[in-house]
Structure 1
Amino acid sequence: MRKRLAALAIGLGLISAPAMAQVDLGSGFSVTGTVTGATDYVFRNISQTRSRPAVQGSVELSHETGFYISTFASNVAFAGTDARQEVDVSGGWRYTAGGFTADIGGTWYTYPGYSNQPGQYGLNFAEGILRLKYEMEPVTFVGTAAYSPNFWGSSGDGYYVEGGIDVKIPGIDVTLSGRLGYQWIERNSRFGAPDYLAYSIYVSRPIAYGFAVSAGWYGTDISQSECGGLKICDGRFIASLSWTF
């Protein structure tokens, strides 16, 4: 179970990144990117680096029609495995009308260099993801629904839903955010943990020259005993510094 739970903390989403700058490439194409340093890396609030710092980068190529493709990379550290990096590829389509935005896409999570040993399962998996956003200054409402036909560790169907709110605080250029989500897994025994609640509250603020900071608290309702005795499911404070280009 310890090996399974150590590998459980995979995927995207540490702290909501600042809006990325866009570089116009012509013919309707643009590219955006972010580099981030953080005190930890969590996927749905479970540590992917065993409570250690992470360095991450992402690049997205998009078209004015709404179609995009992107990649994300980060260091990882799973107890009992030789996985040391994550490289994800995402693609999809965004539509914006007024203050409403819909993003329909998917992500393929991969771990180059990982080789599963006897008793271990493959780490790679794919998810279809729907993201919705409605902006009503100074408040933004967000929602996410994700489905994997074969979630981490060949644990069968995986479903995740999340809702949240971002509130811009006037005068100090700070955004206060909160998220509440729930993860369901078909084969909990293979996944190594029960279905669980994920919650977070954090603040973010742009600085200058594309830099921004973010800090907050991330937790789950998984006890340490349900987490194979590991601390990767414990609540934790996370801070990050990002640069957009």
Structure 2
Amino acid sequence: MYNNLNKKRLVPLVALALSATLFTDIAAAEVSGEIAVTNDYRFRGISQTAGDPAVQAGVDWSFESGFSVGAWASNVDFDEPGYNGPDIEYDFYVAYGGEINEDISYDVTLNRYNYSGDSDLGYFEVTAGVEYSGFRLAYWFTDDYSGTDLDYHYTELNYSYEFVENWSVDFHYGYNAGDALDDGEGFDSYSDYSIGVSTELAGFGLSLAWLGSDLDGAQKVSKGAGRNDDTILATVSYAF
């Protein structure tokens, strides 16, 4: 009888403790956000706005436990002859990150991409990344790219170096592979890359970058939906 009573008391006490911990974590959450305008929304080297400008916004809740959740949105343009695609992309994510030591940090994220209208392009994607001394290496994977039931693998390496105070030069290399490309898009794996500079002025983030890829021949699209030619990308953002 004594042990049973202790167990009955323990359950609500544990639940109460967990609830208090969760409430404390939520109450201590740090909220941040960003609004940005760019002359083209490029995703892994490919335009999502047919080469036109995009307005983007996101909000993030970060907790002391290392978890964070967020949402992000942008206008898109996938229209082609005979196909009237979605106009808005809106994404959600939940992430967990921490530090291995004072030099190395890591993060794991579950992303959900969504699109307006009757589109069935939405899909989940997971990513894992590590950062060290200005470098970031990350791997992204989905087994249902754009609702096709085909896998997509993306590996990227980024490096940012502050060459003078408040000015950084930013490098990016990404490698795209998977059945979603071979079977779905009709071309093999490819690489995308960029180099740019970024700074902050009067509370605004400013960046200018050159983007390119090794796509060529019939795979190179210079206008309309899926545009992937080399371009200069200019972005103005405001964080709050």
Tell me which residue corresponds to 1:94: 97
Residue identity in the other structure for 1:91? V
Structure 2 spans left out of the alignment, 5+ residues? 1-24
1:240 partner letter: T
Counterpart amino acid of residue 112 in structure 2? W
Q: Please state which structure has a larger fraction of its residues in helix.
A: 2
Written as runs of structure 1 = structure 2, the 5 A alignment for 1:184-223 is: 184-187=177-180, 188-208=182-202, 210-223=203-216
Q: Give the residue type in structure 2 aligned to 1:36.
A: A
> Mapping of 1:153-232 within 5 angstroms?
153-154=147-148, 156-171=150-165, 173-187=166-180, 188-208=182-202, 210-223=203-216, 225-227=218-220, 230=223, 232=227
Match of 1:213, SS?
A: strand
| Aligned-residue identity in percent | 28
| 33-42 vs 88-97, which moves further | 88-97
- Give unpaired runs (5+ residues) of structure 1: 1-24, 116-121
Once the two structures are superposed, the pairs formed by residues 3-152 of structure 1 within 5 Å of their partners are 27-80=27-80, 81-96=84-99, 97-115=101-119, 122-135=120-133, 140-152=134-146
* Structural RMSD (CA): 1.9
Structure of higher RCO (CA pairs closer than 8 Å, 6+ residues apart):
1
Moved more, 196-205 or 231-240: 231-240
Residue 112 of structure 1, CA deviation:
1.7
Superposed CA deviations along residues 89-125 of structure 1, whole A, max 9, x for unmatched, are: 011101023122101011111102144xxxxxx3111
Could you tell me the TM-score, scaled by structure 1's length?
0.80
Larger radius of gyration: 2
Question: Is the 2:221–2:229 Cα contact (8 Å) retained in structure 1?
Answer: no
Which stretch shows the higher mean deviation, 147-156 or 199-208?
147-156
**What's 1:22 paired with?**
none
Aligned length: 209
The code of the aligned residue for 2:33 comes to G
State the alpha-carbon separation in 1 of the partners of residues 206 and 193 from structure 2. 20
SS of the residue corresponding to residue 190 of structure 1 reads helix
Runs of 4+ in 1 over 3 A off after TM superposition: 227-231
Query: Per the alignment, in what secondary structure is the counterpart of residue 218 of structure 2?
Result: coil
Q: Distance in 2 between matches of 1:219 and 1:114?
A: 32
Contact 2:51 2:223 in 1 (8 A): no
Distance in 2 between the 1:180 and 1:27 partners?
Answer: 38
